[in-house]
Amino acid sequence: MNDIKWTKAEKNIAKEAFEMAYQRECQNIINDIKKYKLEQPEDIWSLSEMLQEREKEINNMYDYRYSQLIIVFGILIKRGFLKIDELAGLSDDKIKQIKKIRSL
Amino acid sequence: MNDIKWTKAEKNIAKEAFEMAYQRECQNIINDIKKYKLEQPEDIWSLSEMLQEREKEINNMYDYRYSQLIIVFGILIKRGFLKIDELAGLSDDKIKQIKKIRSL
């Protein structure tokens, strides 16, 4: 997938979709924090652990290299942070590959 | 301070005070989390960092070795998580040393 070419228009679509998914995922974490049961000391450390895990996950996932974007988008759609329609404007072969990854 | 002797009654007072301070400090963190401004993605990572720092601080501070307790209590009182009156029942020399550390 390293030799896929991205036009300038596609790069703009990708950038916007990537940023949108990131914002949604972070909003999802914010909601989780707000709903978190915080009563006992151990609840604090469990929240802290959860945040560290989510941070690691996010750092692994949000890899904005054009060689990775097809996979990243496939996973983000599968995880519900992006819709395939929000990538409208990408070439048919890219959409096809993203759908393939989504369905894994 | 390693050769200070703790009677059984003093150990009970110390244990209770230590646990009380820990509960208060954790309640303080819980309040901080609940008041935390959580709007942007970076707020999540800043909360996560804050929690990791507090966890480190707490792990360093709450050292329940009898050789350390005088210092620990002095600092906990200085930081407002314990009152000197809550250590009533400890020997006069212990109270004197704790007050000395509190005043540093």
Q: Does B3 touch chain A (CB under 8 A)?
A: no
| Contact at CB, B51 and A55, closer than 8 angstroms | no
| Contact at CB, B40 and A26, closer than 8 angstroms | yes
Predicted pLDDT of residue A1: 53
Question: Are the beta carbons of B38 and B44 closer than 8 angstroms?
Answer: yes
Q: Does A33 touch chain B (CB under 8 A)?
A: yes
pLDDT tens figures, B47-91: 999 999 999 999 999 999 999 999 999 999 999 999 999 999 999
- In the chain, the amino acid numbered B4 is I
- Going by C-beta distance under 8 Å and a sequence separation of 6 or more, which residues neighbour residue A15? A64
User: How does B27-50 read in b/e, with b if 16+ C-beta sit within 10 Å?
Assistant: bebbeebeebebeebebbbebbee
Predicted pLDDT of residue A2: 56
Residue A16 to residue B80: CA distance in whole angstroms = 48
What percent of chain B is modeled with pLDDT above 70? 97
Of B54, A28, A19, A62, nearest to A11 by C-alpha is A19
Q: CB count, 10 Å around CB of A51?
A: 21
Q: Does A29 touch chain B (CB under 8 A)?
A: yes
ipTM of the complex: 0.86
Q: Which residues of B touch A21 (CB under 8 A)?
A: none
- How many cross-chain Cβ pairs, A to B, lie less than 8 Å apart? 48
pLDDT tens figures, A49-95: 999 999 999 999 999 999 999 999 999 999 999 999 999 999 999 99
Beta-bridged to residue A90, according to DSSP, are A88
pLDDT tens figures, A9-55: 999 999 999 999 999 999 999 999 999 999 999 999 999 999 999 99
Q: A26 to chain B: nearest residue by CA?
A: B41
Q: Does A52 touch chain B (CB under 8 A)?
A: yes
DSSP assignment of B11-25, as one string? HHHHHHHHHHHHHHH
Q: Does B51 touch chain A (CB under 8 A)?
A: yes
Q: Does A55 touch chain B (CB under 8 A)?
A: yes
What distance in Å separates residue A25's CA from the closest CA in chain B? 9
B104 pLDDT above the threshold of 90: no
List Cα–Cα distances, A12 to A6, A26, A89, A90, in angstroms: 10, 21, 10, 10
B1 pLDDT above the threshold of 60: no
